[in-house]
Amino acid sequence: GIGPYDPQNIFARILRGELPCKKVYEDAYALAFHDIAPKAPVHVLVIPKGAYVSFADFSAKASEAEIAGFIRAVGMVARDLGLDAPGYRLVSNTGAEGGQEVPHFHVHLFGGRALGSMLP
Ligand code: 5GP
């Protein structure tokens, strides 16, 4: 949901370099790294550099440049991992009922196997 941003959340600490990550990509707007508990052969998390709690927060408050930069970064990560041709899945859990555990907006990028069509 949209509460105050906790600067001690685990992704904030990764962004500050206080905790390690297996980095895949970084630019002015985004950082991408491998999920610590992968649910697919490729499971990468893409996070904006700005302090946004969730998709709800990011979509409401981020600048056009931040939004565009972030979306471009997600696409570049997928392309660079060779996933454009086989395909992939993007997921963003938002808030309690959305199953969000880490309160810094992130997009999950899943690929590397047939994921099927079952949602959610
Ligand atoms: P959420 O449920 O918030 O959408 O997903 C959080 C994700 O972050 C989970 O898939 C979890 O495995 C991952 N995660 C949690 N802590 C860490 C960490 O310290 N490092 C990395 N790389 N991933 C983490």
Q: How far is the CA of 98 from the centre of ligand 1 (A)?
A: 14
**Residue 85 domain-assigned (yes or no):** yes
**Residue 60 domain-assigned (yes or no):** yes
- pLDDT per residue as tens digits for the range 44-80: 999 999 999 999 999 999 999 999 999 999 999 999 9
Residue 66: give the domain boundaries.
Answer: 10-111
**Residue 118 domain-assigned (yes or no):** no
**Residue 1 domain-assigned (yes or no):** no
Question: What distance, in Å, lies between the first and last C-alpha atoms of the chain?
Answer: 18
The pairing of strands 107-111 and 89-91 is antiparallel
CATH number for the domain including 59? Answer: 3.30.428.10
**Which atom of ligand 1 has the smallest separation from the CA of 39?**
10
Measured from CB, residues less than 6 Å from any atom of ligand 1 are 10, 21, 33-37, 45, 93, 99-102
- For residue 24 the two structure tokens come to 């895949």
**Residue 5 domain-assigned (yes or no):** no
Half-sphere exposure in the Cβ direction for 43 (13 Å, CA): 9
CA dist 95 and 32 (Å) reads: 21
**Residue 58 domain-assigned (yes or no):** yes
CA dist 26 and 65 (Å) reads: 16
Reduced to 3 states (helix: H, G, I; strand: E, B; else coil), residue 80 is helix
Amino acid, res. 65: A
Please confirm, yes or no, whether 104 is among the known catalytic residues. no
Number of domains in the chain: 1
**Residue 35 domain-assigned (yes or no):** yes
pTM: 0.97
pLDDT band at 120 (very low <50, low <70, confident <90, very high): confident
- For residue 32 the two structure tokens come to 């991408």
- For residue 91 the two structure tokens come to 């997921």
Q: How far is the CA of 102 from the centre of ligand 1 (A)?
A: 7
**Residue 97 domain-assigned (yes or no):** yes
ipTM score assigned to the predicted complex: 0.99
